Structure formats: structure tokens, C-alpha cells
């Protein structure tokens, strides 16, 4: 059956950094409303907002204290309703981020749960251990143990996979599952078009009373809290219940560690029954050149291009509609991470987004934005540990911080650059995030420049929505070297996307003559395409 999201091109907005309308340094919903015409002109038709619920902002909104209200820094419910209405007027759909694995410790459920062992909310969370002894040695993704002492001093602990202020919900409890459905209904009843489901792969945990093998304590124990079989059972119930009530709802799940097999289980109507999944396993990295004398966590690395190609082709050939992205709020920006120059940043865009699947464009990607430099990551344990190790291994503090700024996810959350005013038109006051973008670019400057990133992305997005690129089959052509060449075909139409990341020119035989998009330099005659280094072309 045809669905509105068959042709979705999604634009991810990090609301805190997009547009501040009330000059408090934090982006807000009225700011997004103001920029809808810009987004319309860009050509995207679906918006995904990172969390905007009431939150103490320990994890920038992923720690939700009230799912039924908008964080006052970002606006009010009236602002939200206005945004939704305006977006729909522009024929755009809106996706809410949906955080169902954990809440904030300030959420009333948790506050009640730590008042008494008899609280009816006690079983909404995962309490375990006794006499001050943790049940196991598992580590949290944010460092340290997953267990934090019960503030009630019962000798028990509560489980948190992320920050200690983000206790995990107990999905074994059917009341939790029902409560989450009710929250989803509240937003879908308002007219929201879909949900980006945060960290759903973690809702099921193994038997808590067992250690994970390892010499360090605590130890990251992913097999015990990621992609467990019960995830399928609970998400199946969640997705089917919502789809029965809201047949048009679009469910986009974040499955960070999913390979193609798991992704297909999450997409299978008999599995998690989601419409799309975002994996973090796309970008295979070359770790061979890293300095072994200190942690690799923030050491910049190249893409392992060959492995990446193989990986992409497997996703393209195995998953019906892969999610296509280069950036998001949890990753460094591609223009800093892998692209060596502006040409390459554009080439990665052609590489990724013209493939088969649903594109997600991260705000600012369309301007070629790079990471910001954050002067201090005060109190961030993992950064402190990294800098200490790196300086002990002989690096200067500046060198270590430079690595952090290339690799840390916070550095990808800089303010959108709208114009040339002091804070880039994002705000009149200093933005909430203390970072400097050294690029001299803005949406305003790029508006009329035919060679700008912005106009390149406009063209790319409109091409993406043509029948051939929306529906066509995909076939990779094996051109040796650091190249990426593929064909899309549909009935009697076909096109090739040819990209040369190598140091020397490449030659490809082709019968195509119609040039749809170009980066860099090429020659095309007598059935031969010559592509210079750092150049790419789309031919039909």
C-alpha cells in the first residue's frame, strides 16, 4: 500500500541549536516556525525534532521529566501546535523523538519510586542487588557502572544504561508498556506523523544476576542489554498497537548496533514491525593508524573505504529501504570526520543520498557545516580521562582537545549559521553551546551562489524525489581503487553515480550522456568518462 513516507526526505533538527526566537541563547519552536520557508525551499518534506519535552537537560532532552509538556526553554504547547499546523500547511510531516528506554530521575514516576519500596512506581524501574552489593559488573554507556545506589538507602541499586540521572524503565512491567503507548497516543492525537524511537534495542535485559566476562570492572556488556530477543516481542506489540490505531504513523527506530540481519528483524511485521531503522554500523573505520599508547575513543580515524563499500552494498542489497545518513547529533559531522575538502563533502552526499532508501539530512549538512571547537568540556569524565591519557603519552593538551573536537558528538551540535551577524543569525546572544565555528559560511551567503552547498543540496534533494532515484533498483559497479560507482535503474531508465576519492584520475565506460550533477572535473566523450581526483558526477 502506498504511504506518505515512501517519498520522505527527512531533515533532522536539533532544536536547541537551530533558531533562537526569544534571545535566550537556546533554539526554540517559534524559531523553527520562522525557518519553515527555508526548509520548504530546500525540498525536504519531513522534519524530525530531537527531544523537546520537559527535561533537566542532563543529556540535552533525552532525560525526560514530563512527556506531556514542552520544555519551557523551547516554548509552550501552543507553540508546538502552531509548529505542527504550519509544517502541515507547508506539506511537511513531523516526527517526534520518542524516548522509551529510560526517563529522567526527576520524572514523577522515579521520584515516587524512590520514596518507598511500596511505591506503585517502584516496578516501573529496575531495582536489584542487596546489602549494598551490586548485582553484576555491567558498565554504563556513559562510563562507570550501570548501577546507582537507591537514594532510599535500601541497599538496592537502580539500573541506568546511560547517565545515572536517566534510570531505565522496566519493560517487563506491562504497565510501563501501556504508559508508553499512552504517551505516543497523546502526540499522535495531536497530529504528529511519526516517531523516531530512541534506543529501543535496549529495552530488554538479560538475567541481572550474572557478570559479563572481562578483566575490567565494570565492563561494557552489550550482549546483555542490546538486541535481546524480547525487544522483538515488546516492540511488535508497541508498533502493531499504534499502527492499528494510526494506520499512517511512521516508526523510525534507532538501532545503533544493528547489522543487516537485525535490521530486517526490526523491520519485519512479525518482528519489531518498524518502518525504518537507523544503524551506526555504516561507517567502517580504519583503526590501524591509531596511537596505541592511549585510548582510541577520540582519536580521529579514516574511513576504511573498501570495507565501507562492501558494507554499503550489503545494506543496499539486503534491506528493503535503508536509512541513508551522513551525520547526526551523536556523531561528528562528516565534513570534519571523513571529507578531506569541500568537494569530498559533496561527493559523500551523492554517494549516500542517491542510493536506495530514505535520506535523513542533519541540519547544517546542506551548508557543508563542520564541527565546532568547544574550548572546555568541563567535568566530562570521558574527555578528562582521554586528555589525561593522551598528555601522559606525550601530546599537548591542545592536541588532545583538538582530537576531542574532531570526534566528540557535542561538536556536531553547533548553532545553525543563517547569516553573517555575530552569532550567525542563530541568536543575538551567546548560544547555549560554547563552541566556535571557524567556517565563514551561512545560508544567506549560499542562497544565490550556484556553486554553493545549499544549491547543491537543493538539486540533490529534488533528484532524490524523481521516480528513478526514489524507486529504482541499485547495483554497485566494481571500479578498483578509492572509487564509489553505482547504477540506479527503473524500467527503461537508468543513471550512474560515479565518485573518485582517489589520488589519480579514473576512466569508466558509459553510454550515458546527460549530466545531472557534477562535483570537480570530468571529461565525457566517445562513451568514456574521465573523472579527476576529488570529483564526482551523476549521469543519465
Residues in the site for ligand BGC, rule: CB under 6 A? 59, 62, 99, 162, 198-199, 254, 329-330
Reply yes or no on whether 254 is catalytic.
yes
Residue nearest to ligand BGC (CB): 62
What is the distance between the alpha carbons of residues 186 and 529, in angstroms, rounded to a whole number? Answer: 55
Q: In terms of CB distance, is 250 or 484 closer to ligand BGC?
A: 250
Q: Minimal distance in Å, beta carbon 382 to ligand BGC? A: 13
Catalytic residue among 150, 198, 275, 365: 198
Reply yes or no on whether 304 is catalytic.
no
Q: In terms of CB distance, is 57 or 444 closer to ligand BGC?
A: 57
What is the distance between the alpha carbons of residues 182 and 186, in angstroms, rounded to a whole number? Answer: 6
What cell numbers appear for 476 in the block? 554497485
How far the first Cα of the chain sits from its last, in Å, is 29
Q: In terms of CB distance, is 62 or 294 closer to ligand BGC?
A: 62
Q: In terms of CB distance, is 20 or 254 closer to ligand BGC?
A: 254
- Specify the DSSP element, H or E, that contains 29: helix 29-34
What is the distance between the alpha carbons of residues 453 and 181, in angstroms, rounded to a whole number? Answer: 41
Q: Minimal distance in Å, beta carbon 14 to ligand BGC? A: 10
Q: Minimal distance in Å, beta carbon 343 to ligand BGC? A: 30
Q: In terms of CB distance, is 62 or 121 closer to ligand BGC?
A: 62
Catalytic residue among 20, 105, 254, 275: 254
3-state class (DSSP) for residue 513: coil
Q: How many CB atoms lie within 10 A of CB 145?
A: 18
Q: Minimal distance in Å, beta carbon 199 to ligand BGC? A: 4
Contact of 475 with 501, CB cutoff 8 Å: no
Q: Is 418 left (phi over 0), alpha (psi -120 to 50) or beta?
A: alpha
Q: Minimal distance in Å, beta carbon 413 to ligand BGC? A: 10
Contact of 276 with 194, CB cutoff 8 Å: no
Contact of 102 with 168, CB cutoff 8 Å: yes
Q: In terms of CB distance, is 100 or 232 closer to ligand BGC?
A: 100
Q: In terms of CB distance, is 95 or 99 closer to ligand BGC?
A: 99
Q: How many CB atoms lie within 10 A of CB 393?
A: 13
What sign does the dihedral 193-199-201-207 (CA atoms) show?
negative
What is the distance between the alpha carbons of residues 408 and 300, in angstroms, rounded to a whole number? Answer: 10
CB neighbour list of residue 166: distance below 8 Å, 6 or more residues apart: 58, 59, 62, 63, 102, 103, 104, 105, 160
Q: Minimal distance in Å, beta carbon 329 to ligand BGC? A: 6
Q: Which residues are catalytic?
A: 198, 254
Amino acid at each position: 500500500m502506498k504511504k506518505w513516507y515512501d517519498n520522505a526526505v527527512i531533515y533532522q533538527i536539533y532544536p536547541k541549536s537551530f533558531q533562537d526566537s526569544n534571545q535566550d541563547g537556546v533554539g526554540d519552536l517559534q524559531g523553527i516556525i520562522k525557518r519553515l520557508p527555508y526548509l520548504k525551499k530546500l525540498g525536504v518534506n519531513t522534519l524530525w525534532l530531537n527531544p523537546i519535552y520537559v527535561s533537566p537537560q542532563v543529556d540535552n532532552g533525552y532525560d525526560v521529566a514530563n512527556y506531556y509538556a514542552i520544555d519551557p526553554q523551547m516554548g509552550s504547547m501552543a507553540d508546538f501546535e502552531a509548529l505542527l499546523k504550519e509544517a502541515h500547511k507547508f506539506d511537511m510531516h513531523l516526527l517526534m523523538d520518542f524516548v522509551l528506554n529510560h526517563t529522567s530521575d526527576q520524572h514523577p514516576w522515579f521520584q515516587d519510586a524512590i520514596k518507598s519500596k511500596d511505591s506503585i512506581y517502584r516496578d516501573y524501574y529496575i531495582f536489584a542487588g542487596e546489602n549494598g552489593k551490586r548485582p553484576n559488573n555491567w558498565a554504563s554507556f556513559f562510563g562507570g557502572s550501570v548501577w546507582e545506589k537507591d537514594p532510599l538507602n535500601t541497599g538496592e541499586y537502580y539500573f541506568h544504561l546511560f547517565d545515572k540521572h536517566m534510570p531505565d524503565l522496566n519493560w517487563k512491567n506491562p504497565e510501563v508498556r501501556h504508559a508508553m503507548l499512552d504517551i505516543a497516543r497523546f502526540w499522535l492525537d495531536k497530529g504528529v506523523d511519526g516517531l523516531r524511537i530512541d534506543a529501543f534495542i535496549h529495552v530488554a535485559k538479560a538475567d541481572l544476576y550474572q557478570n559479563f566476562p572481562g578483566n575490567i570492572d565494570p565492563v561494557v556488556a552489550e550482549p546483555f542489554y542490546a538486541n535481546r530477543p524480547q525487544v522483538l516481542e515488546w516492540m511488535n506489540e508497541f508498533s502493531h498497537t499504534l499502527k492499528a490505531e494510526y494506520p499512517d504513523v511512521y516508526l523510525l527506530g534507532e538501532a545503533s548496533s544493528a547489522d543487516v540481519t537485525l535490521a530486517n528483524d526490526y523491520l519485519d511485521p512479525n518482528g519489531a514491525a518498524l518502518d525504518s531503522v537507523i544503524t551506526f554500523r555504516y561507517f567502517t573505520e580504519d583503526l590501524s593508524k591509531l596511537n596505541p599508547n592511549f585510548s582510541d575513543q577520540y582519536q580521529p580515524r579514516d574511513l576504511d573505504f573498501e570495507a565501507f563499500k562492501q558494507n554499503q552494498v550489503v545494506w543496499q542489497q539486503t534491506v528493503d529501504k535503508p536509512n541513508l545518513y551522513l551525520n547526526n547529533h551523536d556523531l561528528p559531522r562528516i565534513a570534519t570526520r571523513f571529507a578531506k575538502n569541500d568537494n569530498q563533502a559533496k561527493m559523500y552526499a551523492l554517494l549516500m543520498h542517491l542510493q536506495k532508501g530514505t535520506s535523513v539530512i542533519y541540519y547544517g549538512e546542506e551548508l557543508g557545516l563542520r564541527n565546532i571547537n568547544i574550548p572546555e568540556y568541563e567535568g566530562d569524565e570521558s574527555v578528562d580521562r582521554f586528555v589525561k591519557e593522551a598528555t601522559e603519552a606525550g601530546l599537548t593538551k591542545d592536541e588532545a582537545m583538538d582530537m576531542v573536537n574532531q570526534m566528540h558528538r557535542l561538536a556536531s551540535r553547533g548553532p545553525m549559521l543563517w547569516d553573517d551577524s555575530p552569532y550567525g543569525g542563530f541568536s543575538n546572544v551567546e548560544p547555549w553551546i560554547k563552541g566556535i565555528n571557524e567556517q565563514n559560511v551561512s545560508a544567506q551567503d549560499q542562497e544565490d551562489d550556484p556553486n554553493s552547498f545549499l544549491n547543491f543540496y537543493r538539486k540533490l534533494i529534488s533528484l532524490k524525489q524523481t521516480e528513478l532515484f526514489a524507486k529504482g533498483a541499485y547495483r554497485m559497479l566494481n571500479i578498483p581503487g578509492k572509487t564509489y560507482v553505482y547504477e540506479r535503474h527503473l524500467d527503461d531508465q537508468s543513471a550512474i553515480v560515479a565518485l573518485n576519492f582517489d589520488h589519480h584520475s579514473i576512466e569508466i565506460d558509459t553510454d550515458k550522456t546527460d549530466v545531472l550533477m557534477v562535483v570537480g572535473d570530468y571529461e565525457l566523450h566517445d562513451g568514456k568518462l574521465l573523472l579527476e581526483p576529488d570529483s564526482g558526477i551523476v549521469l543519465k
